[in-house]
Amino acid sequence: MQRINIIKSDATESYYDCFDEFEKTIVADQRFHVNFRTTKATGIKLYLLKIAVKLGVSFRWRSGGKRIRFAMLMGASFDKLFPAYWWKGDNYVYMYDAWPRFLPYIIKSCKALNIKTIFFSSHKSAEYFNKQASGINAYWIPEGIHVQEYKWRNYNDKNIDVLEFGRKYDMYHNAIAPALELESRVHLYEKVKGQVVFQTRADFIDALSRAKISVCVPSNITNPERAEDISSMTLRYLQSMVSKCLIVGVLPEEMKELFNYCPIIEIEEGRYAEQIVEVLNNYDQYIPLIEKNYQAVTESHTWDCRLTDIYKIITTENRNVVC
């Protein structure tokens, strides 16, 4: 059994739900004996990391034993890894939102913190990272999902017509909202910018199970200044599929590699309103696609699948180490 320390943030932002799903998967896996180490980002930690990055030094105080250290980061928030990653050892990171402009800082931070391998949720981020020839291993491990967290309802019991959660694609939303209102359709979305649609995770999961259509658009379209050219499959696509929602939106580049068919209804330029109404009026014809998506995700895109891939990489690397 592999011993592993999971460095866990004490933050409470809603996006940490995706961290929790992966962590639950690791804990349930019989290959690992897990200990959690709670940490938080502070000003002094960030200051120390910036100094180390600027000077190009690493914290290699002593061997950390045979236990693996593993952390999940949203963006380049490496400061939260102090002091756990000061020790030289088998240090790994899984990173979301690794935008290209931050790659030099990410590489320097990995070197300062003795990170031997980094896993990216984005294929293009891993590809860009490896082109830097930093000596640090990088792999693409797409986002996964803990299916047991979600539920679905019979199609006749779905009473939310269209659900937009997360950042809206404003141009699309502004086109479909009046048409859905005219049709007296139930349309849930963020009414005020920055205010969440659902107050609790339980409310969100329940609403997703009641939704017929989930609108999903990648960040390179909804927020291109931040995401640049990164078009990745986020958790919202998987959440929609395991809740048996039909996805209407834009297909991220990565999903063309992950699925051998088109799992969504791609929005038609110039026909936003007409298309969404047509899909709702002919919803039954899309049920086979919804069922196909559910089967594909539960078989191939869970965190259990992703953890198996990570475990293979870690064990292979450790076997190849020359002492």
Report, as an integer, the average pLDDT of 295-305: 97
- With tokens 């953890």, the residue in question is 307
User: Whole-angstrom Cα distance, residue 221 to residue 171?
Assistant: 10
pLDDT in tens, 32-73: 889 888 877 777 777 777 887 777 766 665 555 567 899 999
Same domain, 208 and 120: no
**150: nearest Cα among 236, 233, 239, 25:** 239
Taking residues 24-33, report their average pLDDT. Answer: 90
Residue 155: DSSP 8-state? G
Query: Which one-letter DSSP state was computed for residue 243?
Result: T
202 pLDDT exceeds 80? yes
User: Looking at residues 137-161, what average pLDDT do you find?
Assistant: 96
Q: How far apart are CA 94 and CA 26, in angstroms?
A: 13
CATH of the domain at 293: 3.40.50.2000
15 pLDDT exceeds 70?
Answer: no
Q: Say what percent of the chain tops pLDDT 70.
A: 92
pLDDT at 323: 28
User: In this model, does residue 14 exceed pLDDT 60?
Assistant: no
**pLDDT band for position 11 (50/70/90)?**
low
Q: What is the mean pLDDT of residues 246-255?
A: 95
Let me know whether 166 and 22 are in one domain.
no
Taking the C-alpha atoms of residue 255 and residue 147, their distance in angstroms, rounded to an integer, is: 19
Q: Identify the pLDDT of residue 321.
A: 43
What pLDDT is recorded for position 322?
A: 37
Of the listed ranges 82-96, 168-182, 201-215, 255-269, the one predicted with least confidence:
82-96
Residue 287 pLDDT = 98
Phi/psi at 70 (nearest 5 deg)?
A: -140, 135
Name the percent of the chain lying above pLDDT 90. 58
Average predicted confidence (pLDDT) for the chain? 88
| Residues spanned by the domain of 218 | 147-300
Question: 15-19, 97-101, 184-188 — which one is most confidently predicted on average?
Answer: 184-188
- In this prediction, residues 127-135 reach a mean pLDDT of 91
Q: Mean pLDDT throughout 217-232?
A: 85
Higher pLDDT, 35 or 293: 293
* 80/158 same-domain check: no
Contacts by 175-184 with C-beta closer than 8 Å and gap 24+? 175/272, 175/273, 176/272, 176/273, 176/276, 178/273, 179/273, 179/274, 179/276, 179/277, 180/276, 180/277, 183/277, 183/280
Q: How would residue 17 be classed by pLDDT, with cut points 50, 70 and 90?
A: confident
d(CA 316, CA 228): 33
Same domain, 154 and 289: yes
Counted domains in the chain: 2
Instruction: Tell whether 94 and 170 lie within a shared domain.
Output: no
- Say whether both 292 and 313 belong to one domain: no
Q: What span, in angstroms and rounded, lies between the C-alpha atoms of 222 and 212?
A: 22
What is the value of pTM for the model shown?
Answer: 0.91
Q: Specify whether 125 is located in the same domain as 187.
A: no
> Does 151 lie in the same domain as 95?
no
Determine the pLDDT at residue 319: 58
Q: Are residues 285 and 210 in the same domain?
A: yes
Does residue 309 share a domain with residue 276? no
Listed range (42-56, 96-110, 179-193, 199-213) with the worst mean pLDDT: 42-56
Which span out of 52-56, 261-265, 316-320 was modeled with the highest average pLDDT?
261-265
Distance separating alpha carbons of residues 215 and 100, to the nearest angstrom? 26
pLDDT of amino acid 198? 85
Residue 159 has pLDDT above 50, yes or no: yes
Same domain, 151 and 140: no
88-102, 210-224, 272-286, 308-322: least confident range:
308-322
- Mean pLDDT over 293-322 rounds to 88
pLDDT (mean) for 264-276: 96
Based on the fold, state whether residues 159 and 287 are members of the same structural domain. Answer: yes
